[in-house]
Homo-oligomer: A and B are copies of this chain.
Amino acid sequence: MLPVDLPDTVRDALLAPLVDHACHGVRRDELTRSRFELLLNEGGSPAPPGTTHFDTPLGAAVRRWCAPVLGLEAHAPPPVYLARRAELGAAEVNRLLLRAAGVSAFLVDTGPEGADLLTAGEMGRDGGAAADEVVRIEQIEQDVAELASGGGSVLDYLAGLGDELTARAARAVALKTALAGRCDLDLDPGRPSRGAVLAAANRRLADPKQPLAEPALARHLLWAAADAARDRGLPLQVQTGMGTGMGAGAGDAGAQPAGPAPLAGFVKALQPAGVPVVLLTCYPYQREAACLAHAFPHVYVDVGLALAHAAAGAARVLAELLELAPFHKQLYGSGCRGLAETCHLGAVYFRCALGAALKARLDAGEWAAADAARVAHMIGSGNARRVYRL
């Protein structure tokens, strides 16, 4: 997996256990081929007739790196891989792949997922690691809205939102949102007016089953989460780039992928409160995210699921993050979701990509080996232990 001629200290640092600071639960149930293929893709649609989602970087990576973990030859054909998966059973497959990732702690977004996903505790147990919960604030809002719509007032709803955020934050290591792109933060990064929030909340309670699409209310929620994070000393994770507005699952027709630059004003407004802001995934705008992590002392960054998806191309993605993001601001997260394969592959390509970047710097005489080892340790686990107080 790693380049052959790295100094031992650097190799050891790369192979040391990771903190996966941003993952989701993986599926506990047996997966048919069609279900497995859907989970290979972020858009949620089957591949066009006559094609397969295995013909993607991620599909090739599953055959290359996950097949051997399940006892197959590398590059096993998809039917062979899926037959072996079925033979072993989902529970064993999850254990094998999560452990192969070499992770010592999972921080698990327990957001809008259902009973067929492993809980944070189960992720830790199956992966031989500690596990903590990251609270998804839009899930809290959804729960509170559905409750309030059964007869509660708007004021009850807003009070409930604050109470629930506080209560859930008390048991979590971070708050998280994928809503930032729907808050019109580039137009107004500040707290919305009370009147705007009340009006939006009224509309919201009329249709609480829908995903939240009121900018003023979404911004209110974001600021309420920032307050809760400040009070508990927790970071706020903000999903950006790939996966925030793309694809059939996006929930509203106008959503489009967007980089983190429009968050600059909000990020700046949070600076006095000292709340760490962790920009997640960010691809293909990882350089914009790196600029913010460079410019603001409280901004952190990862490229998450982009590593497993770019697969053989992951080195370039991570290399771009390394151009401007300070080494004490980068985190490792697999962004895994649904398939335990994505958890393992995130770790594989993170180690490969960082190893390639370090080797290039060592070969060119740019860095000393001790620096390379220290940076590998910081990004792989040290920064996460500091930021999340693990």
Contacts and interface: CB of A to CB of B under 8 A. Distances in A.
A312 interface: yes
A295 B246 contact: yes
Contact of A295 (B43, B310, B368): B43
Nearest to A290: B284
A242 B316 contact: no
The interface size bin for chain A is 35 or more
B312 A366 contact: yes
Given A74-B365, A261-B256, A51 B295 contact: no
Interface in A308-343: 309-314, 316-317, 319-320, 322-324, 326-328
A71 interface: no
Contacts of A254: 186, 189, 265
A42 interface: yes
Interface stretch (A57-65, A99-107, A130-138, A218-226): A57-65
A320 B368 CA distance: 28
A264 interface: yes
A42 B312 contact: no
A375 interface: yes
A295 to B, nearest CB: 3
Given A253-B268, A313-B320, 18 more contacts: A41-B294, A41-B326, A42-B294, A47-B328, A52-B328, A55-B326, A56-B327, A75-B367, A186-B254, A189-B253, A246-B291, A246-B292, A253-B265, A256-B263, A257-B288, A310-B324, A312-B360, A312-B366
**Top 10 closest pairs, chain A to chain B, by CB:** A284-B287, A247-B295, A43-B295, A256-B264, A51-B328, A310-B323, A313-B323, A246-B295, A75-B368, A45-B297
11 contacts: A50-B386, A57-B322, A60-B361, A189-B253, A246-B295, A257-B264, A310-B323, A312-B367, A313-B320, A314-B323, A317-B323
Interface of A: 41-43, 45-48, 50-53, 55-57, 60-61, 64, 74-75, 186, 189-190, 242, 245-248, 250, 253-258, 261-265, 268-269, 271, 283-284, 287-288, 290-292, 294-298, 306, 309-314, 316-317, 319-320, 322-324, 326-328, 360-361, 364-368, 371, 374-375, 378, 386
